[in-house]
């Protein structure tokens, strides 16, 4: 052993930088120095550039496309239209939701910004010149931007490609613009419970259309090597393996001949889960030209054409006894999916996990029905920093609770408290079919109430209302309460798949002879810090310092198959696979250690970074020593090497939860607001890296703030996207972003190997209702029940105006 004084146990733990350590993000060394490697940084010899001609119309027939002038522009190599893709059967592509989507406009366009032609040129400038030269003759058709109008008897047929009356991917379609009806729960029992209740609150809650708007837009580089027959595809993919499989199925290229690489990704938030026409066109263009082809969209294209989020009209009824005990919940959703159903949900769940909408409450009976509808808007419906439709669900129930509190004339915090699922009810079977793994909602709630000084806030609020009524002040105080329960970690293969691919995930570990390691996963970080946190899980599991473990993701030639990163699934699924693979390593290490120490396998035990002989702590072998022996010493009955792979199929989802409270001042005259306090308590089970969690919560809260207070994708009546630039699409700067207070409780998941639940999306799920409820709460004393988001200045002003507060 070495000459220095041996480290004590605490020092050894601290050196590992394992779970629970606020280890600095290893990725940031390159990101903060401009050394990230994004798709647009991929530069290959002879690379061409593709760019789209997009439709200015939201609904129009295409009478002709003239590409001659464009082809004559110097530098333009080719112009692809649907007619060129049709012989390859690539003018349409399947969506993740079982629908199909035009790659390039086939006869008509269905939303503004839809891809019409793909110009391939020697540089970006020539491609952009080419776009201007393509002449498209459109014949305008009636435009539908309202999903309710889309279902009118005389509404124009949007999807002429679908056979009238034929079933869709999710069962019968009752109207030519209808996609599916999806139901959960017991309708009859729920109606009976609500109709016979003491108190019923009814409300339409709209969660407006918004967009993930990642800093880096979507893009791809396709390189078809005609000699080897191998296609390499770099792209902004949140699920590279799924892209490989889909690309293989679409193109007929065998899967081993396709290599998909997700390099560094500058934020995804759900926007980079789906497959976009740009990816397909770059592949086709590379096959046609024999050269690499890059496609990178600009900001307007990203906001106009790649996947949006939300757009759920949720009509709800909630009932209770006069004491406030909830007796039933009913929700009917009219879901605007845009022109194609391109939602990214597990296949069997066309409305995602919306049926988590009973939230944190013990509700005996519930029913949910979701009608998916086509309109002349961009396709999408992705989970923008949330698990599938969970944000919509949390917003719905947290608004309904507030409305019920008004109906009962009760304090909304107390109403929540008396309806929370109790700790002793876990695992809890919800009325809509979920099994909540663990929770301690009352403890979290009490901690949050105490932290913000809830009772004093209510007193101050009442005083401000009185001062307003006396004409002494024009400001109001809103206290936005939220207790959310998420459902993340999709998911068990028995009920979760995407296009038939089970939603397990994977980790492969190789320990090098000198005791460092590489771990490869089927997920892909888009800023979550996987390289930091997964190394920490391993450090604790196998006793090798996190700093000596490389985590690699995103290259399908090297990484084990996985379903990617979204829906807070990386830690619950791939994190579990990592721990399980680590345990396989440890099991083999135990045999090696026992051999080296000349004792029976059962006589050694793992201790931080070594195996020690039970009862003789001075006799041990460190993991470094064991790794060396694994490769360099013949051990009877044990194969050389120290590697493991684990594919983890989770037995259940995980159910993170949290208590968020927003304290907001509102200026009734200007519609402006000031967030005085935003308190966020998260319980994500075991905490791997508190600093990374804090970062996740801060980022998620900022997105939630944006969504609640101003961010939207809005259309006018003829289908113009009115918020296609960052002038109008709200991204908060440091000036607008509120200050946050984070807090936590720890209720581990009982079924997860390390008890972790996932946290990346909780702040968006809980943050949106907290901010929105604050606005509503400020006006509660003046009679407000519901006003739709986003709560930007004019809408808040309008709320006050309608309540007669400007008289």
Partner 1 sequence: MIPAAFEYHRPSDIAAALSILTEYGDDARVIAGGHSLVPMMKLRMAEVPHLIDLQDIGTLRGIDVGADRIRIGAMTTQHDLINHDALTNAAPTIRETALQIADPQVRYMGTIGGNVANGDPGNDMPALMQCLDATFYLTGPNGERTVSAREFYFAAYATDREDDEILTAIEFAHPMPGFAYEKQKRKIGDYATAAAAVLIQRDGERCTGASIAMTNLSDTPVFAEDAAATLVGTAVDSAAIAAAIEAMQQAIDPSEDNRGPVPFKRHIAGVVLQRAIERAWSRA
Partner 2 sequence: MNLSDEIFIPLPRDQVYAALNDADILRDCIPGCEELIKHSDTELETKLVLKIGPVKAKFSFDILLSPDAPPERFTLSGEGNGGTAGFAKGSATVELKEVDGGTNLVYEASADIGGKLAQLGGRLIQGTAKLLSGKFFKAFAARVVPENVD
Rounded-to-integer distance, Cα 545 and Cα 117, Å: 52
Residue 806 contacts which entry, partner 2, partner 1, none (Cβ below 5-8 A, type-dependent):
partner 1
Confirm or reject binding of residue 420 to partner 1 (CB under 8 A): no
Taking the C-alpha atoms of residue 36 and residue 266, their distance in angstroms, rounded to an integer, is 9
- How many other C-beta atoms lie within 10 A of the C-beta of residue 344? 27
By CB under 8 A, residue 262 contacts partner 2: no
Written as one string, the DSSP assignment of 317-351 is: EEEE-TT--EEEEEEEEEEEEESS------TT-TT
Which of 21, 213, 386, 496 is catalytic? The answer is: 386
Where in 47-106 is the site for partner 1 (CB under 8 A)?
51
**Cα–Cα distance between 641 and 407 in angstroms, integer?**
67
Q: Which stretch binds partner 2 (CB under 8 A): 49-57, 68-76, 569-577, 765-773?
A: 49-57
Regarding 323 and contact with partner 1 (CB under 8 A), the answer is no
Q: Which of residues 561, 793, 803, 805 is near partner 1 by CB under 8 A?
A: 793
* CA 534 – CA 551 distance, rounded (Å): 7
Task: Select 456 or 735, whichever has its Cβ closest to partner 1.
Answer: 735
Structure tokens at 405: 């509190």
386 a catalytic residue: yes
- Rule CB under 8 A: say whether 806 interacts with partner 1: yes
Residues 76-115 that bind partner 2 (CB under 8 A): 112
Contacting range for partner 2; rule: CB under 8 A; set: 55-63, 201-209, 365-373, 777-785: 55-63
Does position 714 interact with partner 1 (CB under 8 A)? The reply is yes
Separation of alpha carbons 102 and 95, rounded Å: 10
Report strand pairing: 616-622 vs 610-613: antiparallel
User: If binding is defined by CB under 8 A, does position 732 make contact with partner 1?
Assistant: yes
Q: Is residue 57 within the footprint of partner 2 (CB under 8 A)?
A: yes
Q: Which of 657, 571, 622, 81 is nearest to 394 (CA)?
A: 657
Q: Does 735 bind partner 1 (CB under 8 A)?
A: yes
* 37 counts as binding partner 2 under rule CB under 8 A: no
Query: Using alpha carbons only, what angle is made at residue 260 by residues 255 and 266, rounded to the nearest 5 degrees?
Result: 155
Asked if 711 is an active-site residue, the reply is no
- The listed partner (partner 1, partner 2, none) that binds 53, CB under 5 to 8 Å by sort, is partner 2
Nearer to partner 2, 300 or 638 (CB): 300
Q: Does 721 engage in binding with partner 2 (CB under 8 A)?
A: yes
Give the contacts of 429 (CB within 8 A, at least 6 positions apart). Answer: 435, 436
Q: How far apart are CA 80 and CA 134, in angstroms?
A: 11
Q: How many residues bind partner 2, per CB under 8 A? A: 19
Residue 446 CB neighbours (<10 A): 13
129 or 609: CB nearest partner 1 = 129
108-109: strand order across its sheet:
108-109, 60-66, 135-140
Q: Shortest approach of partner 1 to residue 306 CB, angstroms?
A: 16
Residues 638-677 that bind partner 1 (CB under 8 A): 669-672
Taking CB under 8 A as the criterion, the residue among 86, 128, 287, 493 binding partner 1 is 128
Tell me: does residue 122 bind partner 1 (CB under 8 A): no
Q: Decide: is 140 part of the binding site for partner 2 (CB under 8 A).
A: yes
- Whether 238 sits among the annotated catalytic residues: the reply is yes
Instruction: Determine the angle formed by the axes of helices 576-597 and 623-632, rounding to 10 degrees.
Output: 80
- The whole-angstrom separation of Cα 737 and Cα 291 is 45
Q: Which residues pair with 664 in a beta bridge?
A: 478, 675
Among 27, 115, 129, 703, interactor with partner 1 by CB under 8 A? 129
Q: Please tell me whether residue 676 adopts helix, strand or coil conformation.
A: strand
Which of 238, 526, 528, 677 is an active site residue? 238
| Marked catalytic residue, from 114, 684, 761, 780 | 761
- The answer to whether 546 and 539 have CB atoms below 8 angstroms apart is yes
Q: Cβ distance 357 to 317 under 8 Å?
A: no
Q: 63 or 806, CB closer to partner 2?
A: 63
Of the pair 118, 779, the CB lying nearest partner 2 is at 118
735 binds, among partner 2, partner 1, none (CB under 5 to 8 A by kind): partner 1
Q: Does 125 contact partner 1 by CB under 8 A?
A: yes
Out of 317, 385, 610, 687, the active site residue is: 385
Q: Is 298 in the site for partner 1 (CB under 8 A)?
A: yes
Integer Cα distance of 558 and 458 in angstroms: 57
Catalytic residue list contains 461: no
Pick one of 306, 702, 720, 772: the residue that binds partner 2 (CB under 8 A). Answer: 720
Please, what is the end-to-end C-alpha distance for the chain in angstroms? 84
- Give the Å distances, CA to CA, from 678 to 214, 446, 451: 24, 16, 11
H/E element holding 602?
none
Q: Which partner, partner 2, partner 1, none, binds residue 669 by CB below 5 to 8 Å per kind? A: partner 1
Q: Nearest Cα to 597, choosing from 627, 622, 631, 632? A: 622
Distance of closest approach, residue 758 Cβ to partner 2, in angstroms: 37
> Which residue from 575, 474, 476 is spatially nearest to 530, judged by alpha carbons?
575
Our finding on whether 58 is near partner 2 (CB under 8 A) is yes
Tokens 């039933």 correspond to 328
Which of 97, 127, 158, 496 binds partner 1 (CB under 8 A)? It is: 127
Question: Within 531-590, which residues bind partner 1 (CB under 8 A)?
Answer: none
- Is-contact 371 178, C-beta < 8 A? yes
Task: List residues with catalytic annotation.
Answer: 238, 385-386, 761
Binding residues for partner 2, per CB under 8 A? 53, 56-58, 112, 131-132, 135, 138, 140, 300, 716, 718-722, 724-725
Q: Which residues bind partner 1 (CB under 8 A)?
A: 51, 124-125, 127-129, 132, 298-300, 669-672, 710, 714, 722-723, 727-728, 730, 732-733, 735-736, 792-794, 797-798, 801, 806
């Amino acid at each position: 052993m070495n000459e220095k004084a041996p480290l004590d146990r605490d020092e050894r733990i601290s050196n590992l930088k394992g779970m629970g350590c606020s280890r600095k993000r290893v990725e940031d060394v390159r990101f903060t120095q401009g050394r990230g490697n994004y798709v647009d940084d991929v530069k290959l010899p002879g690379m061409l550039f593709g760019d789209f001609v997009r439709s200015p119309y939201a609904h129009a027939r295409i009478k002709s496309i003239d590409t001659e002038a464009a082809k004559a522009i110097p530098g333009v190599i080719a112009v692809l239209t649907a007619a060129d893709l049709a012989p390859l059967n690539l003018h349409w592509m399947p969506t993740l939701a079982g629908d199909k989507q035009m790659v390039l406009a086939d006869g008509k366009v269905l939303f503004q910004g839809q891809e019409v032609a793909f110009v391939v040129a020697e540089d970006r400038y020539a491609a952009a010149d080419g776009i201007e030269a393509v002449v498209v003759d459109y014949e305008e058709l009636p435009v539908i931007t309202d999903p309710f109008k889309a279902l009118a008897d005389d509404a124009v047929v949007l999807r002429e490609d679908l056979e009238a009356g034929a079933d869709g991917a999710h069962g019968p379609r009752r109207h030519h613009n209808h996609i599916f009806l999806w139901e959960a729960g017991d309708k009859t029992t729920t109606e009976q419970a609500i109709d016979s209740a003491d108190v019923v609150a009814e409300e339409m809650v709209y969660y407006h259309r918004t967009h993930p708007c990642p800093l880096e837009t979507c893009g791809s580089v396709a390189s078809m090597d005609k000699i080897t027959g191998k296609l390499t595809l770099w792209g902004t993919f949140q699920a590279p393996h799924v892209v490989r499989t889909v690309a293989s199925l679409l193109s007929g290229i065998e899967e081993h001949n396709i290599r998909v690489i997700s390099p560094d990704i500058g934020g995804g938030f759900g926007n980079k889960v789906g497959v976009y026409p740009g990816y397909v066109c770059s592949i086709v263009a590379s096959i046609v030209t024999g050269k690499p082809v890059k496609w990178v969209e600009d900001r307007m294209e990203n906001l106009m054409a790649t996947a949006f989020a939300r757009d759920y009209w949720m009509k709800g009824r909630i009932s209770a006894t006069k004491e406030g005990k909830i007796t039933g919940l009913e929700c009917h959703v009219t879901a605007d999916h845009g022109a194609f159903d391109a939602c990214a949900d597990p296949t069997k769940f066309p409305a995602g996990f919306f049926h988590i909408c009973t939230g944190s409450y013990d509700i005996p009976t519930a029913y949910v029905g979701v009608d998916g509808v086509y309109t002349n808007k961009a396709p999408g419906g992705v989970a923008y920093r949330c698990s599938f439709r969970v944000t919509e669900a949390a917003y719905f129930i947290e608004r309904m609770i507030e409305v019920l509190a008004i109906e009962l004339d009760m304090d909304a915090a107390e109403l929540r408290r008396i309806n929370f699922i109790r700790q002793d009810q876990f695992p809890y079977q919800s009325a809509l079919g979920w099994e909540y793994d663990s929770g301690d909602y009352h403890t979290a709630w009490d901690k949050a109430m105490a932290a913000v000084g809830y009772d004093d806030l209510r007193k101050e609020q009442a005083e401000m209302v009185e001062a307003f009524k006396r004409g002494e002040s024009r400001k109001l105080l809103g206290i936005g309460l939220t207790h959310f329960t998420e459902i993340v970690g999709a998911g068990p293969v028995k009920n979760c798949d995407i296009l038939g691919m089970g939603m397990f995930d994977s980790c492969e570990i190789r320990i090098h002879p000198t005791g460092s390691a590489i771990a490869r996963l089927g997920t892909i970080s888009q800023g979550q810090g996987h390289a930091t946190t997964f190394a920490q899980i391993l450090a604790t599991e196998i006793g090798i310092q996190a700093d000596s473990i490389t985590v690699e993701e995103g290259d399908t030639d090297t990484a084990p198959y996985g379903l990617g990163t979204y829906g807070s699934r990386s830690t619950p699924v791939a994190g579990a696979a990592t721990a399980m693979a680590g345990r396989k390593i440890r099991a083999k290490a135990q045999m090696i250690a026992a051999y080296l120490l000349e004792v029976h396998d059962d006589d050694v035990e793992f201790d931080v970074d070594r195996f020690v002989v039970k009862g003789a702590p001075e006799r041990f072998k460190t993991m470094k020593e064991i790794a060396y022996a694994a490769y360099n010493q013949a051990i009877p009955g044990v194969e050389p090497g120290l590697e493991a792979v684990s594919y983890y199929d989770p037995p259940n989802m995980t159910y993170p939860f949290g208590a968020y409270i927003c304290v907001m001042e509102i200026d009734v005259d200007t519609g402006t607001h000031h967030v005085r306090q935003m308190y966020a308590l998260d319980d994500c089970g075991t905490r791997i890296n508190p600093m990374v969690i804090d970062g996740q919560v801060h980022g998620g809260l900022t997105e939630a703030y944006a969504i609640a207070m101003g961010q939207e994708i809005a259309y006018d009546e003829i289908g113009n996207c009115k918020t296609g630039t960052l002038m109008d699409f709200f991204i908060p700067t440091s000036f607008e972003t509120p200050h946050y207070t984070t807090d936590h409780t720890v209720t581990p998941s009982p079924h997860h190997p390390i008890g972790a639940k996932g946290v990346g999306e909780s702040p968006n799920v809980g943050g949106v209702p907290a901010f929105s409820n604050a606005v509503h709460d400020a006006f509660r004393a003046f009679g407000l029940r519901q006003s739709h988001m986003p709560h930007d200045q004019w809408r808040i002003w309008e709320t006050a105006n309608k309540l007669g507060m400007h008289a």
